Amino acid sequence: MTDPTQISAAVARLYDTYPFPPEPLLDEPPPGYNWRWNWLAAYNFCLGRKPSRQDVRILDAGCGTGVGTEYLVHLNPQAEVTGLDLSSGALAVAKERCQRSGADRATFHHLSLYNAAELPGEFDLINCVGVLHHLPDPIRGIQALAPKLAPGGLMHIFVYGALGRWEIQLMQEAIALLQGDQRGDYRDGVQVGRNLFASLPENNRLVKREQERWSLENQRDENFADMYVHPQEIDYTVHSLHELIRASGLEFLGFSNPRVWDLERLIGKAPDLMERAANLSEWERYRLIELLDPESITHYEFFLGRPPIEKSDWSSDTALLAAIPERNPCMDGWDSRTLFNFDYQIVTLTDDQWAFLKAADGNTQQTVGQILESVPGGLEMVRSLLQQQLLMLTPGS
């Protein structure tokens, strides 16, 4: 199947059959947070400071059943949130989800991502998670979205990685072969796939990878179908990802899971290799990481920005002392000294760090310098909070 219209129709049929994601509908706000969907936290991560405004416009491009849309509304109370999707079945679930949880500010459009130009205006944040890799022409897709991003705006994207999904690709092809003329009958595909996993030897590589990595979420047929019987999927490597980003005309601001892309975690014990790697370009280093640790690169999640983009630099003591600090809103367990940070990693604060964050909690007027007059610690302690994304700064006047 190569006709783009037929592919899009097949994708819509899959999600009409198995609306995705299949998370349950709640009569209350969803639990926790994803900081990538919080405008304050995402902007701070990308540009190193708190944004100047919160009354922004947000687009959930390919919103599916509205799991992300719901969070975008609850995490950004001043924002105008719009969702679009190709599947009418998924959109029906999205609308009900948002109505039930109190996220009824969201508006929805039954629309192909290719036709994003039909939406009015521009958006300060575009969320496009798990969508581009299911388009017959992802470059056309990202080029349709890019003009809808406002100057200085952010786009968060998630696409699949080929190396970490190698076993999935093999099983996808095996299921398709066994389905034959029934390919496109997604319920039959799920049945064939489950029978395959049940029949293969326990030590089979595909079975082991499924058990180690995916089996818990794939207990739901919706997840299993999305992973193994999807009619359209393009998986990326660093090389093809770089081509996609260049085609967008937007600026790459970084991966939103930076720990994965830290080369030191792999070869930090070999200073000579780290020294050699220092001579590589940014994208050569990324390629080296995925070559050395392919199983970890199951996907790429990253931010793009539309110029003008200016990142804050807090290396100047004068600028840092004059800045107004505020606690990052994405923390779980505050105001305990041991808590989950923006990325749900456990953090134990020192007494000085905790005292500074207490002073910065809800702060809108005091500068770093003023707080440090009554709170122990110094600028290096403040910079450690910044480095851990525990603190946001507004430049002083």
pLDDT of residue 1 exceeding 70, the answer is no
Do 34 and 151 lie in a common domain?
yes
Count of structural domains, the chain: 3
- How far apart are alpha carbons 376 and 360 in whole angstroms? 13
Residues 154, 262, single domain; the answer is yes
Which of 178, 194, 228 represents a domain boundary (last residue)?
A: 228
Do residues 100 and 213 share a domain? Answer: no
Residue 109 domain-assigned (yes or no):
yes
Any domain includes 65 = yes
Question: Which of 261, 262, 167 minimizes the C-alpha distance to 213?
Answer: 167
- Domain-located, residue 311: no
42 plus 178 within the same structural domain: no
Do residue 69 and residue 178 come from a single domain?
A: no
Which residue type is seen at 333? G
Query: Of the candidates 207, 228, 249, which is a domain's last residue?
Result: 228
Q: Are residues 301 and 386 in the same domain?
A: no
For 81, the enclosing helix (H) or strand (E) is strand 80-85
Same domain, 93 and 126: yes
Q: Region 162-188: what's the mean pLDDT?
A: 98
Q: What is the mean pLDDT of the chain?
A: 97
Q: What is the pLDDT of residue 382?
A: 97
Shared domain for 91 and 212, answered yes or no, is no
Residue at a domain's end among 211, 228, 245: 228
Please report where in the chains the tokens 């085609």 appear, as a residue: 247
Quick one: average pLDDT of 297-321? 97
The conformational region for residue 184 under phi > 0 = left, psi -120 to 50 = alpha, else beta, is left
For residue 257, pLDDT beyond 60 = yes
Can you tell me the distance from the alpha carbon of 64 to that of 130, in angstroms, rounded to the nearest whole number? 10
Residue 359 pLDDT level (bands cut at 50, 70, 90): very high
pLDDT of residue 324: 98
Q: Is the preceding omega at residue 351 within 30 degrees of 0, hence cis?
A: no
Domain limits for position 194: 163-228
Whether residue 14 has pLDDT greater than 70: yes
Does residue 163 have a pLDDT over 70? yes
In a domain, 312, yes or no: no
252 and 342, same structural domain? Answer: no
18 and 113 part of one domain: yes
Give a yes or no: residue 270 inside a domain: yes
Q: What is the pLDDT of residues 28-53, one digit of tens each?
A: 999 999 999 999 999 999 999 999 99
Residue 262 dihedral angles phi and psi, to the nearest 5°: -95, 110
Percent of the chain with pLDDT over 70: 99
Helices (H), 118-162: 138-145
- Is the domain of 184 the same as that of 138? no
Q: Tell whether 75 is covered by a domain.
A: yes
Q: Could you report the per-residue pLDDT of 192-210, keeping only the tens digit for each?
A: 999 999 999 999 999 999 9
- Kindly state whether residue 84 falls inside one of the protein's structural domains: yes
Upstream peptide bond of 137 is cis (omega within 30 degrees of 0): no
Is this model's pTM higher than 0.85 or not?
A: yes
pLDDT above 80 for 309: yes
- On whether residue 310 sits in a domain, the answer given is no
Q: Looking at residue 155, which CATH number applies to its domain?
A: 3.40.50.150
Same domain, 382 and 278: no
What's the pLDDT band for 3 if we cut at 50, 70, 90? confident
Instruction: Please report the pLDDT score of residue 290 as a whole number.
Output: 98
pLDDT at residue 2 greater than cutoff 80 = no
The identity of residue 70, as a single letter, is E
